[in-house]
Amino acid sequence: MAPHIRIALLALIYLLAAPLAARAGRQPVTILISIDAFRPDYLDRGLTPTLKELAAQGVSAVMRPSFPTKTFPNHYAMVTGLRPDRNGIVANKMLDADHPGITFTTATGEEPFWWSEAEPLWASAEQVGIRSASMFWPGATAGYRGVRPRDWFPWNENVTNRQRVDTVVDWLRRPARTRPRFVAIYFDSVDAAGHHHGLDSPELTTALRDVDRQIARLREGLAALHQPVNLVIVSDHGMARTSPDRIVWMRDLADPADYHVVEEGTVVMVDPQPGHEAALSASLLKSHPHVTCLRKGDLPERFHYGRNARVTAFVCMADLGWLVYDVFPKK
């Protein structure tokens, strides 16, 4: 995954719409938009004129995602202000010793206890009387200590980007007392196209064009409502080219009897089987081609990672463009 992502923060729409909005009595709305796995260089492909314009006319900056550079850890970091090691969402798949037999995944991690270690923006907003809404932002449906956005939907990948935008615009058509002041929107299509079809695929080109078109439609809807808005457009991580020829198998790193793999891929979360700590340590901590394994307490300080109890005893990191698997994933 690429080490940099770009944030575009736009106040231009608010400045243009403010005079009309003032007559309409509309208060500004903040809309946080995530385009999962949007690499910075996607802006230069000539496929995203709306995003290119927003970045040029607003304020843009480069940000380093938190470790690990995966979807759920970084999305929760963005809405809590805390790195994964402190917000509790330390991986896309994880275990918790206090809740044995339950596995967190991006598809099933809706139990509120997973999300209780850090307060997200919508919970902070709701607690001071600012109405919030979420269109699929990770963590919003689970709630934080009983607090959810006032408006939210359970995850459904079949809801198109157009439908997501239309829902947000409909929320903003409401009268002031039921209109959200903070809205979070999540687009996953660019990430899905990149993972399933590759960085130079027609499918990715289509996904980039579509998400740009939908953000243009959002702007048009806001302008029609004379709605002042602060748009914050972010991504959570980049993406690198991989190949079936660049895979390291866990069985080549250690005896399968010694370990339990919690999560695989670019960053691998590994625990020892009971009584096999010494054997696993001796195997994993050797020098291995294309992968580095460390005890969680020995991870580089710049990662700010390894102190949370949900982090496995060992963390293995593949070289850029490589993957580490225990079992090859199903498509």
Catalytic member of 30, 48, 69, 71: 71
Compute φ and ψ for 137, nearest 5 degrees. -65, 130
Report how far residue 135's alpha carbon sits from residue 122's, in angstroms, rounded to the nearest whole number: 12
The strand order across the sheet containing 291-295 reads 259-263, 267-272, 314-318, 291-295
Tokens of 50: 């709306």
Concerning whether 71 is annotated as a catalytic residue, the answer is yes
Report how far residue 217's alpha carbon sits from residue 166's, in angstroms, rounded to the nearest whole number: 9
Residue tagged 């607003």 (tokens): 58
Report how far residue 123's alpha carbon sits from residue 132's, in angstroms, rounded to the nearest whole number: 8
Specify the DSSP element, H or E, that contains 57.
helix 49-57
Tokens of 35: 């385009």
Evaluate whether 121 touches 79 at the Cβ level (below 8 Å). yes
Return the half-sphere exposure (C-beta side, CA atoms, 13 A cut-off) of residue 313. 16
Report how far residue 203's alpha carbon sits from residue 184's, in angstroms, rounded to the nearest whole number: 25
Evaluate whether 106 touches 71 at the Cβ level (below 8 Å). yes
Return the half-sphere exposure (C-beta side, CA atoms, 13 A cut-off) of residue 272. 16
Active site residues: 71
